[in-house]
Structure 1
Amino acid sequence: AGRLTLLEGRFGDMQSLLAGCDVRMVDGVALDLGVSSMQLDRAERGFSFRKDGPLDMRMAGQGTSAADLVNSLKEADLADILWKYGEERHSRRLARAIVHDRQTTPFHSTTQLAELVRRVVPKSKDGIDPATRAFQAIRIAVNDELGEVDRGLSAAEHLLRPGGRLAVVAFHSLEDRAVKDFLKKRCGAAARPSRHLPSTGLTRPPSFRLLSRKPVLPDSAEQSANPRARSARLRIAERTEAPAWDHSGGQA
């Protein structure tokens, strides 16, 4: 009894949430990024293009919904989101179609949006549903997921005591790239400025040590048991004794 305490909040709020429980440092932090299977499987949450439900996608149930975003953004801004967060090659064509259709019938359901995407975006050879990238992009924008990844990683860096472990599971390339770049910088492996530029004289002791240079991938048995794990990438690092960096990349 008393070994488990559940706290609801965002990754970036870890420090303040734990401070409320009089916890200042921890031995380990595990971040499971992105949307959960439970959220995808509940049609009323509005995350899945395979289930008919309200076009919501809000993880916390508060703030701007996916419907608000899709029905109000300018065409150029919508295209930017589809490209930046979904890497959707047909982002401009899709944004144009969304803006055209919403003038007569605003988007309120997942099925309504998914059907439009499938009508506009050609099927891919890999068999992935054409709506996959668009739904991912809108969900990331609604929840500021990449911003939350950055804030969560920084919070973990400040909370972990020397020797503590950070384990992060990402499920798409944008998340994994953010985690990889963060750890490269904190481990002192980031690209250095040109040798032709004058030295700034600044050195930052690495605050993490990578425990594996390559991400850990699910094996065939795990993928068979859980198909949604096929894109998972696990990265693990150990906290050093160096001070945590501030959010701008300097020493805190």
Structure 2
Amino acid sequence: METNTYHIPAMLSETIEGLNIKPDGVYVDVTFGGGGHSREILSHLNERGKLIAFDQDEDAIKNIIDDSRFTFVRSNFKYLKNFLRYHGIEHIDGILGDLGVSFHHFDEAERGFSFRFDGELDMRMNKQSALTAAKVLNTYSEEQLADIFYLYGELRNARRIASVIVRARAQEPFERIFPFVETLKPFYGKDKEKKDMARVFQALRIEVNKELEVLKQLLNQSMEALDTKGRLVVLTYHSLEDRLVKNFVRSGNIEGKIEKDFYGNVLSPLRAVNNKVITATDEEIANNPRARSAKLRIAEKV
């Protein structure tokens, strides 16, 4: 089968090393995408090993691997536990999550992920979902919009942005990217325009795809799914995701609430394999700019 890989996997060797793959183990790639990480995992498995890969994006189907050890699940990874049960799998040896949006998505104007191209304000990873960026912009209240831009985009002027959007949509609903970008341009000088516009689009994308909610569900389910000494390997690309993963690894819970024993030792079902976050080398960043913002955290279930 011809491979249609639509991005270079970030920190490939580091993630595979982090999984500490057992040749006959069972592994899950919750963000299959172009299949780069999955192919490398399969190369470390023997005939008894298994790999299950999740992806809700129909474009990922083009990259499905023809291998009897491989099972593709076209669904959101928040359903991890359900599908493991369906396939009769009680515990797994490792979970890999590469949470970033690929260049493939940013470069397709009709997907609406990038402010560089004009296209519909879509931003859905799952095209069957009813919620689009346009729907968020045209139907959410001013307060809801302000919360999204402040919490998910970390924009200090979130309330002013929300107010301008509500006034503008009363004249004409937002449907396409460029008119929306033009509405926001007065907020940003040339020096910060790209950075701040990226935060606006990040906030919308997180809301449309409920990214933080599904990440929380994945992390919680990982505790039930992983076998003892099973590895949780997560690549994040912005501070909101990284903070969630970091706190979860430290505490074993979404709230990040630290519990200690009588001697002051932290009680957690996880052990951080890398106490310091792993980032891409300069050499990799030169070949794969997407890796520039990537942060890798690895934990082992104890």
In the superposition, the TM-score normalised over structure 1's length comes to: 0.85
- Determine which of 218, 222, 230 is the counterpart of 2:280: 218
| Structure 1 equivalent of residue 3 of structure 2 | none
| Structure 2 equivalent of residue 175 of structure 1 | 241
SS, match of residue 165 in structure 1: strand
Deviation at 1:144, TM superposition (A): 1.0
- Determine which of 41, 65, 79 is the counterpart of 2:146: 79
Give ranges in structure 1 of 5+ residues lacking alignment: 194-198, 241-252
| Structure 1 equivalent of residue 176 of structure 2 | 109
- Determine which of 274, 291, 298 is the counterpart of 1:229: 291
CA 1:192–1:155: 2 relative to 1, 3 Å: closer
Aligned residues: 230
CA contact (8 A) 1:9 1:17 kept: no
SS, match of residue 72 in structure 2: coil
| Structure 2 equivalent of residue 249 of structure 1 | none
CA contact (8 A) 1:94 1:121 kept: no
CA deviation vs aligned residue, 1:122-174 (integer Å, no higher than 9, x gap)? 3445x744311111001111111111111011112211111111100000000
CA deviation vs aligned residue, 1:179-223 (integer Å, no higher than 9, x gap)? 011111129x95469xxxxx9xxx995211110111100110111
CA contact (8 A) 2:242 2:295 kept: yes
| Structure 2 equivalent of residue 248 of structure 1 | none
Report matched runs for 1:148-167 at 5 Å. Answer: 148-167=214-233
- Determine which of 61, 75, 81 is the counterpart of 1:9: 75
Task: Provide the C-alpha distance between the structure 2 equivalents of 1:19 and 1:204, rounded to a whole number of angstroms.
Answer: 31
Q: Does 1:31 align with 2:93?
A: no
Task: Provide the C-alpha distance between the structure 2 equivalents of 1:143 and 1:34, rounded to a whole number of angstroms.
Answer: 12
Give ranges in structure 2 of 5+ residues lacking alignment: 1-66
Which structure has more relative contact order (CA 8 Å, sep 6+)? It is 1
